[in-house]
Amino acid sequence: MVRIHRAALIEDAVHEMVERRLRGRGWKPYITAYTGYGAPGWARVMARVLLSRPGRVRRKREKIRGWRSFTTTPVSNALVRIEVGGTVTEARTDRSGYLDVMVKGDLDPGWGSAKLSTEGTVPIDAPIRVIDPTVKFGVISDIDDTVMVTTLPRPLLAAWNTFVLDEHARAAVPGMAVLYERMVNAHPGTPVVYLSTGAWNVAPTLTRFLSRHLYPAGPILLTDWGPTPDRWFRSGQEHKRKSLRRLAAEFPDVKWLLIGDDGQHDQEIYSEFAREHPDNVAAVAIRRLSPTQAVLAGAIPGPSETAEVVPSGGKAWFSAPDGAGLWSLLRDTDLIS
């Protein structure tokens, strides 16, 4: 028998009590769809089922700011109907209302969608990035301090960014959106996957931020910050490691350009992945923080004004302070030509 952590039991009891009371007041389920990915024949579908007060109409791109994103009430064990390319699958949400399933269905390469519905709801579309089997190159990118500037100590980062700021108060890292666009243009059909230790609650905010700053659209792989069956909180580093391994298994013929920053653990995680899966790594690009940013992120400041190539583990590591610097190193390599 699996022993459940006390924190998870308390959280489940609170969710059950709140859900019961809100349903008694007429609150109804609705689905928040996240961007998934897949290939012809299958798709990874991600969403969450929550409760909404009666009579409230939720707009497709409704903005939920800061702490309000974390005051939602999940619906556990909700039965969700998933239709992909004419194939219907049913699955249930987990204890926190999340749905993360692999389903069968034929979609053409490019952008497709899955139709999701649950009790009493109108079907909604969940975007699916369908990767062409002929594609051999992709981009996996960190978010904080890689595509947008945080300049806050990491222990305070989560609370500040998710409970106080909205996306309009965030600044993009100079040149990174242009870098990503050039990589995508150099390799038509290139998938861009954003991998972060942030909570799923902020996925809509991050999606709007990336769109407004002209980053290529793509799945955002986040995590649930709540208690797990065996610990108080999920490990952000382990979330990244598992996600990288999963992508390598799902797309064994794709070589990924791994993009991150030197503020915390990206270099360590990418190095491990490159050693374990050398055939799935094209190169590593690291955005170097400024001395001030490095101190605030809890890292040791290093030279930040120049771009350089550092051979490591049989893979080229490109390092520069911004997107323009990284592009100056990448543009003459086999990754572009």
* Structure-token pair, residue 131: 């990767």
Q: Residues 248-264, buried b or exposed e (16+ Cβ, 10 A)?
A: beebeebbbbbbbbbbb
Paired tokens of 28 = 């109804």
Distances (CA, A) of 319 to 227, 260, 294: 36, 10, 14
Could you tell me which residue, 289 or 164, shows the higher pLDDT?
289
The percentage of residues in the chain with a pLDDT greater than 70, rounded to a whole number, is 71
And the tokens for 141?
């990118």
Write down the pLDDT at residue 150.
73
Domains and CATH numbers, the chain: 6-16+27-130 (2.60.40.10), 137-331 (3.40.50.1000)
Beta strands 315-320 and 308-312 are: antiparallel
What is the structure's pLDDT at 91? 97
Give the integer Cα–Cα distance in Å for 125 and 34: 9
- Beta-bridge partners for 318: 285, 309
Instruction: Give tens-digit pLDDT for 106-146.
Output: 999 999 999 999 988 899 999 999 999 999 999 999 998 89
Q: How confident is the model at residue 334 (pLDDT cuts 50, 70, 90)?
A: confident
pLDDT band (50, 70, 90) for residue 51:
confident
pLDDT tier for residue 15 given thresholds of 50, 70 and 90: low
In degrees, rounded to 5, the angle at the alpha carbon of residue 317 between the alpha carbons of residues 313 and 319 is 150
pLDDT for residue 120: 84
Helix 323-330 × helix 176-186 angle, to 10°: 30
Burial class (CB in 10 A: 0-12, 13-18, 19+), 101: middle
- What whole-number distance in Å separates Cα of residue 128 and Cα of residue 204? 15
C-alpha distance from residue 170 to each of 22, 161, 173, 184, 296 (Å): 34, 9, 10, 24, 16
User: Has residue 14 got a pLDDT over 70?
Assistant: no
pLDDT at position 2, please?
47
Q: Which of 170, 161, 135 is nearest to 257 (CA)?
A: 135
Ranges 1-15, 129-143, 217-231, 258-272, most confident: 129-143
State the pLDDT at residue 205: 85
Q: What is the mean pLDDT of the chain?
A: 82
Contact between 97 and 18 under an 8 Å Cβ cutoff? The reply is no
Q: Looking at residues 220-247, what average pLDDT do you find?
A: 78
